[in-house]
Chain A
Amino acid sequence: MPGKDMKLKPGAVIDEPGSSTKTKTGEWRTLKPVVDKKKCIKCGLCWLYCPDACIKIKKDGADIDYDHCKGCGICARHCPVKAIKMVREENGKSN
């Protein structure tokens, strides 16, 4: 069941469509990917490989959705110019 703001219906029924977007699953992360936008060449490989569809290629480079990124590190592994580094989360907080 998603966020605390939703009313809890009997039997955990969800009768509002699209509610999965309200669930922030990025809280599990221990390492987070940080993009060095100066190095980024906007090739889109990280976007292609991200298993959680958490990366968008914007004008200034790869942009990561930290609400849903689990910190798997596949993007950093595949970046051809080493623009993505995996950094330890501090105080258990994301972002």
Chain B
Amino acid sequence: MEKVIETSHAIAEAVRLAKPDVIPIYPVTPQTHIAERLADFVADGLLKAEMITVESEHSAISAAIGASAAGSRVFTATASQGLALMHEVLFIASGLRLPVVMAIANRALSAPINIWCDHSDSIAERDSGWIQLYCESAQEAYDSVLFAYRIAENRDVLLPTMVCVDGFSLSHVYERVLLDNDEKVRKYVGKYRPLFKLDARKPVTMGPIGYPNSFMEFKEQQEQAMKMAINVMRVEERNFKKHFKRDFYGLIETYNLANARYAIIAMGSVCGTIKHVLKQSRLKDIGLIKLRSFRPLPKEALKKAFEGLKAIAVIDRAVSFGNGGVLWNEIKALSCLPVHSFIAGLGGRDITPRHIMKAFDVMQKEKENEKRIWLK
């Protein structure tokens, strides 16, 4: 069934079908519509979940960890300051290898206070050990939530996962979404079978001290799990395609790249704008590389996409102050090509076709002379 719905509601719809047992959640702009719709579902009896209206995001993620440790499937969502408040606890979710799924409606961090979209909130949690998927459309957000449970709960992975949608510019946008029938979706997501859980009948210890003689090994296991996540995602993409009889998105998605000598790399809703510009301008020489999985970073897939290119432009919606665009830094480390950096769309500033054209121009004209430009 196809329906025109808001991305936040599409996410809530996917969560309803994934049937989490516990949803500890705290509202924050622009994530609120997800929380509200889930509250409706629970109140209307459409979702049998324990919805915990916690007193902060720190509590939300802490309760999510407790519930997940007890063997429940868990969902929560947040944004911006809320995600920043979760910071210290995020590492505990990943360190304990609990497959919590969390939607992020990306929003700038204060100050100055700003409620609109950029990626500085989730990018700041880059090293927290969470898988991070970035979405371009409502359909992709819906599909990615279902996909996230399959990845996170896989025994070779067991990592918490963020599904990131651009605040307002995606979270509040109404789009056509193909909603598969409930049974089909439920069959795809399946049931969560925890490897370990807190159970008095078979007691285990969770969260013991890690002495210097074992701590590094556990961190190494997390890094290996991230690497495994790349393989598992590849397999799950094929499963998704087979189950729903439609394409899934891949770790990266390329557009117009086949004959291109230049590529622009971006994450999130701006990729839609870039596709639009490429379509309108009929430029054969420029392609788009949309990065969907920021963590784990699909290095091999990216390197393969870079083959035959002369230069790359990276659009960042987050800055590592003192060393420029975050994504730019990561792409620069993967390629010997000239990589131009464009900071754009901070704090909800629209990224328009004019900005994209400017990035195209700079990339084609500047050759070896790498530029760092703020597209304002």
Contacts and interface: CB of A to CB of B under 8 A. Distances in A.
Contacts, number: 51
Interface string B163-207: 000000000000000000000000000000001100000111111
A11 B209 contact: no
Interface of B: 95-98, 158, 195-196, 202-211, 213-214, 217-218, 221, 225
A12 B96 contact: yes
A8 B225 CA distance: 14
Contact of A10 (B203, B208, B221): B221
A1 B210 contact: yes
Interface in A73-91: none
Interface in A1-34: 1, 4, 8-15, 17, 19
A12 B196 contact: no
B98 A13 contact: no
Contacts of A19: 205
A12 B158 CA distance: 13
A8 B213 contact: no
A4 B217 CA distance: 11
Interface of A: 1, 4, 8-15, 17, 19
9 contacts: A1-B209, A1-B210, A1-B213, A10-B196, A10-B221, A12-B207, A12-B208, A14-B205, A19-B205
Contacts of B203: 17
Given A1-B209, A1-B210, A1-B214, A11 B158 contact: yes
A8 B208 CA distance: 12
A11 B211 contact: no
- Max count, chain B CB within 10 A of own CB: residue among A4, A9, A11: A11
Nearest to A13: B196
A8 B210 CA distance: 11
Nearest to A17: B203
B217 A11 contact: no
A1 B211 contact: yes
A11 B213 contact: no
A51 to B, nearest CB: 19
A79 B347 CA distance: 70
Nearest to A19: B205
A1 B214 CA distance: 7
- Max count, chain B CB within 10 A of own CB: residue among A1, A12, A14, A19: A12
Contacts of A1: 208-211, 213-214, 218
B217 A8 contact: yes
Given A1-B209, A1-B211, A4-B213, A13 B221 contact: no
B93 to A, nearest CB: 10
A10 B97 contact: yes
A12 B206 CA distance: 7
B356 to A, nearest CB: 43
Nearest to B202: A15
A12 B218 contact: yes
A10 B218 CA distance: 7
A14 B208 contact: yes
Given A1-B209, A4-B213, A15 B204 contact: yes
